[in-house]
Structure formats: structure tokens, C-alpha cells
Amino acid sequence: DAGVTQSPTHLIKTRGQQVTLRCSPKSGHDTVSWYQQALGQGPQFIFQYYEEEERQRGNFPDRFSGHQFPNYSSELNVNALLLGDSALYLCASSFLAGGQDTQYFGPGTRLTVL
Amino acid sequence: AQKVTQAQTEISVVEKEDVTLDCVYETRDTTYYLFWYKQPPSGELVFLIRRNSFDEQNEISGRYSWNFQKSTSSFNFTITASQVVDSAVYFCALSEGTGATNKLIFGTGTLLAVQP
């Protein structure tokens, strides 16, 4: 049973560029959540997608956007990158229809903005 | 406002010692979930346990045990007979509402170092 997968593992960008991160949920899961984890901090919720719609959103600017595909996989897009966007980006999947399930995390994508 | 506080930034113990990680939460909801996750150096968050606000029964699972007390808004985690492989950052998290799939609010984590 494949767990949550994310790509790429590492990414280096420069300020002002745009980046796309990808996530495939665990088999049987229908919901994808994205979190940003700065060095030495706990993860911060960015947004959650269910049925290809943004279901919840955290306190992040519009530069952060996402998408969910019919196969439940998801992308996180960040435009006009800032140095402060350097972080570990974690994707988590869960089964919303089940209501009682837990969010399981992928290995993350480490983004460095120079 | 919802908040999770992990006052212990770093803990260092010697192998086979018992260690307790503290977690205090704030929420106005009467229905919520509490979680513990482990983050080894590889970076992936590993789920350890989930408790809902109606289940104050404490649990022991192997070397792990959890103490949930609504009266003090605490959800502490104990490792008995710690091992070097337990070295990691441990996060406590809160999810409000009736679904455990709502957004998670994390504490700042406790770095546990188990020395051989």
C-alpha cells in the first residue's frame, strides 16, 4: 500500500520565480492538505482540497494556490517567490468521507529560495 | 483562539530512561481531536496517536503511553525505556470540529535526543 508521495524532493529557485510542487495521496484517500514548515517550527496549514475544490485555507497570501485533480493528486503553486518561502512543504492525505480518519504525511519537498 | 503549546524545546536523556513530552492546548470547541506526530531527521511526519475530546481514556501501546486530561487541557506523551531510535522532533497537534480531517494546528515541537 503506497503512502503519500511528493515530488520533487528538493528544489532551488530564485526570488520572483514560480514553483509547482506535487503530491499523490495514499491509496483510498480523497483529501489533500498542504503545510509549510519553516526551520525549527511546527507545520503551518496552507490549504486543503476535497472534490477538486479548496475546502479550507490558512493564513497564506494569494501567491499560494493549489489544484486537485480527478485522481485526487494535488499541486501547490507559489508565485513571485520570496526568501521567506524557503521551507519544507508537506502534503498530507486523508479520507474526508470517512470523517474519522487521520492525516498521513508525505516526505516533503524542501524548497530553497535564493 | 486555538493554540498548542509545547513548552519543552529540547530534552536529552540516556537510553532506557523514561521521558514525558508535555502538550497544552487551547480551543473554544467542545469537539476536537488531539494528535502526536514524530518527525525523524528524514523529515516525514509519522502519525503516533489520535484522541477525540470525548475519549479521555488513557492508553498504553508498547513503550508509549498518553495522558489526556480535559480539566487541564493537556495531552502528554510518555516513552518508557527510551531508545536511540526514539530521537526525533515530536509534535502535538489539534484539529477542531467534528472531523479529524480538518486543519491541524501544531505546536512548535520538542526535540528529543536519546544518548546511548
Chain B residue with the nearest C-alpha to that of A47: B103
- Checking DSSP bridges between strand B10-14 and strand B110-115, what pairing results, if any? parallel
CA A12-A15-A18 angle, to 5 degrees, is 70
Find cell 498530507 and name the residue. Answer: A92
For chains A and B, CB pairs below 8 A equal 66
Is A109 within 8 Å of A89 (Cβ atoms)?
A: yes
Residue A37, pLDDT > 90, answer yes
Q: Cβ neighbours of residue A61 under 8 Å, at least 6 residues apart?
A: none
pLDDT at B96: 86
> What would the pLDDT profile of B22-52 be if each residue is shown by its tens digit?
999 999 998 899 999 999 998 899 999 888 8
Decide if B57 touches A, using CB distance below 8 A: no
State the pLDDT confidence band at B104, using cuts at 50, 70 and 90: very high
Residue B56, pLDDT > 90, answer no
Residue A3, pLDDT > 90, answer yes
Which residue of B44, B100, B103 is in closest CB contact with A108?
B44
Chain B positions touching A90 (Cβ under 8 A) are 45
DSSP for B63-100, written as a single string: TEEEEEEGGGTEEEEEESS--GGG-EEEEEEEEESS-T
